[in-house]
Amino acid sequence: MALGFVRPARPEDAGEIARIQLATWRVAYRRLLPRQVLADLDEAWLAQRWDAAVRQPPGDTHRVLVAVEQAEQSYLVGFAASGPVDAEALAPNEPAGALGPDVVAVTDLLVEPRWGRRGHGSRLLAASVDLWRESGFTRALAWVFEGDEASRKFLTAAGWEPDGAGRALDVDDMLVPQLRLHVALPTEPPEAT
């Protein structure tokens, strides 16, 4: 029987986080993003960026969490990254202060496809919500590709909904539409049943 848990990322996880990101993007986004863009992603470059994010986060409320599946061996199977909203969280033409300091942005929440449907995404999201609440955030948001049905269904099943904002990313001269989802964070953790 497998056991899953979530923990803060460590510097030595950076390479595995990059591998998971690359593997997941190449499967989940193969019909959304240009093939050449996915093929050209450099795992070593991604690992350097994740190493920096873990070792020297921009602030105390920037978090990188990893999901671990433990059976006979332990495997990193997913990760989540979040932090206070910045310009990247804004919709086009949205004023700089529109979102407020009590809003957190999810920049990544990925589970490698071969480890999907085992509760890892839910554990990552629940652990993130606990940390957000401790940090005083009252609302969370995430940009998702319109064509990414899996991410949209996962988040909407957890109570997230579109906030009406949309944008299109220019990826190698191809516009890829995104929509922004948001959720109000509960002020108290749910009671155990």
pLDDT tens-digit map of 56-95: 999 999 999 999 988 777 889 999 999 999 999 999 999 9
Asked whether the predicted pLDDT for residue 98 surpasses 60, the reply is yes
Give the separation between CA 85 and CA 82, rounded to whole angstroms: 9
Check residues 150 and 118 and name the one with the higher pLDDT: 150
Instruction: Give the pLDDT confidence score for residue 3 in this predicted structure.
Output: 81
Asked whether the predicted pLDDT for residue 1 surpasses 50, the reply is no
Percentage of the chain lying above the pLDDT 70 cut: 95
Give the separation between CA 22 and CA 37, rounded to whole angstroms: 11
Q: Domain locations in the chain?
A: 4-184
Instruction: Give the pLDDT confidence score for residue 150 in this predicted structure.
Output: 92
Give domain 4-184's CATH superfamily: Gcn5-related N-acetyltransferase (GNAT) (3.40.630.30)
pTM exceeding the 0.85 threshold for the entire prediction: yes
Cα torsion angle, 141, 82, 69, 130, sign: negative
Instruction: Give the pLDDT confidence score for residue 190 in this predicted structure.
Output: 58
Give the separation between CA 188 and CA 135, rounded to whole angstroms: 13
Chain segment 149-178, per-residue pLDDT in tens: 999 999 999 999 999 999 998 888 889 999
Asked whether the predicted pLDDT for residue 192 surpasses 60, the reply is no
Instruction: Give the pLDDT confidence score for residue 57 in this predicted structure.
Output: 94
Instruction: Give the pLDDT confidence score for residue 25 in this predicted structure.
Output: 92
Chain segment 31-42, per-residue pLDDT in tens: 888 888 889 999
Chain segment 43-58, per-residue pLDDT in tens: 999 999 999 999 999 9
What does the H/E/C string look like for the chain? CCEEEEEECCHHHHHHHHHHHHHHHHHHCCCCCCHHHHHHCCHHHHHHHHHHHHHCCCCCCCEEEEEEEECCCEEEEEEEEEEECCHHHCCCCCCCCCCCCCEEEEEEEEECHHHCCCCHHHHHHHHHHHHHHHCCCCEEEEEEECCCHHHHHHHHHCCCEEEEEEEEEEECCEEEEEEEEEEECCCCCCCCC
